[in-house]
Amino acid sequence: MCRVLMYLGRPVLLDHLLYQPDSALVKQTFNPRMLNLLNLAGFGMLAWDPHSQMPQRPWEHRSTALPVFDRNLKALASKVQAAALLAHVRGVAYSTEVNISLQNTHPFTFEGSTLALAHNGDLYRFADIREHLVGSLPARWRNQICGTTDSEWIAALVVSRLSDPMNITALALRTAVMEALDMIGQARRRAGITVASSVNLFMTNGQVALATRYCYDFGRYRTEDPSRVNEANLRYLSLWYTVGHDFGLHHGEWRMVGGEESADAILIASEPLTRDSSSWIEVPEYGVLCVEMSATGHTLTTGEIRL
């Protein structure tokens, strides 16, 4: 299982998201509280710093090393305050066939678009699905795919459905995601695939963010050898969020203070980052969460994915 974290709001030190909380993203790599699969294959992040040169372009860090041993990441996290963050720890199948490389680390971006995407899950028999998607993906985006993951193809599909990939609204992004998920679903049907495939997606351009908690054919898996069924196929991958302001250490507890009425920040993650999860809300199965930031605050909408 991959681990993902996305943040939008007032600038916060990356160390306070990646390292310090009770169940910070880096801590989840060796001590997760949900779905205890330790199959780690790299770390990547994009962080938008409003005080940096060209603030619309994020800081970028990628490594195939485990983040808990990454001194460069720790040094960067101790210096950078970000108003938006998308960070991903890659989980892969236990197989020598898996390609672990920088090209396969999330988040994925494309020249000609401001959108970044990270994925928690996997598309079963993706090679067969890809054959049915090639003709639907314009060469402009297809030719930029340099890795071997299903996630990069999902990112390319979403970007290809945006009417203006450089200026993205919440409505346009949600529409593009629904169209991309439907295209994948159609490709699965043409390939005769009915095995569970999770697509928890996290995407942002630093101003707009969207997350999905979705799974094709949940509960269906091959049973020739039940002992080899991955735990991730038996449970719906989790997705949580908390809203408020000033995420940090308050009276000895890591938490987001305030409520939704006065919120100017949102934190979305595979699992809560704090010991006390009472202020966190679990996104329902087949749910979608969309956020748009502005000078006066944020607009948060939730909904259901129906394909």
**Each residue's pLDDT tens digit, 179-219:** 999 999 999 999 999 999 999 999 999 999 999 999 999 88
Per-residue pLDDT, averaged over 238-244, amounts to 94
Domain ranges of the chain: 3-304
Per-residue pLDDT, averaged over 272-295, amounts to 91
User: What is the CATH topology of the domain spanning 3-304?
Assistant: Glutamine Phosphoribosylpyrophosphate, subunit 1, domain 1 (3.60.20)
pLDDT of residue 16: 96
pLDDT bracket for residue 257 (50, 70, 90):
confident
pLDDT bracket for residue 33 (50, 70, 90):
confident
Per-residue pLDDT, averaged over 52-62, amounts to 93
Q: What is the pTM of this model?
A: 0.93
> Nearest-5° angle of CA 40, CA 229, CA 282?
65
